[in-house]
Amino acid sequence: MIEIGDTIISRDLVERFFHCDLSGCKGGCCIEGDSGAPLEKEEYDIIRQLLPKIWDYLSPQARTVINRQGIGYHDIEGETVTSLVGGRDCVFTCYDDDGTCRCAIEKLYHNGLTGFRKPVSCHLYPVRVKKYNNYSAVNYNRWKICRAAEILGEQKRVRLYQFLREPLIRKFGLEWFQALDSCAKDYLKIID
């Protein structure tokens, strides 16, 4: 483990190679899992405000779910997460012609219609942050749908923390990321 401030970071972020490969996974993280994507309070409010702009990107089924229960709910751990369609797809999932999942919120961002990219939990994925009383645990949620990303990361020689530079800075700040990068470089000298 690596400790920076009040965060405990799994060495997997430094040891593992990773580079998203949408052609391999088709955005499976938007439709697989036990619950929706975790939302911070501010994000929930932002998304509710963006909903009129997002609406046309959403499937009819997603609109029905949102009309019935809203954009999010509390999961079994008490976290606020995005609502799901059929217990599977995040309500903000939309599909390309080839079946690749995309985020409707992120489409707005790329079209210049909002400065909010998507929930930070999605931006950080496959890293998950779990808040405890005195610290936050930063872990790699490793599973089969990301296998193509691990292969591509190894081919490109990109470490998980390097691939997630932007969302890690978004979540924890530049100084935190620089500390992680420094620790990672020292650690890799020892194990490589």
Say how many Å lie between the first and final Cα of the chain, rounded.
17
Tens-level pLDDT at each residue, the chain (192 residues)? 899 999 999 999 999 999 988 777 777 776 776 788 999 999 999 999 999 999 999 999 999 999 999 999 998 888 899 999 988 899 999 888 888 888 999 999 999 999 999 999 999 999 999 989 999 999 999 888 889 899 999 999 999 999 999 999 999 999 999 999 999 999 888 887
Chain length of the chain = 192
pTM here is 0.89
Q: Is the peptide bond between 119 and the residue preceding it cis, with omega within 30 degrees of 0?
A: no
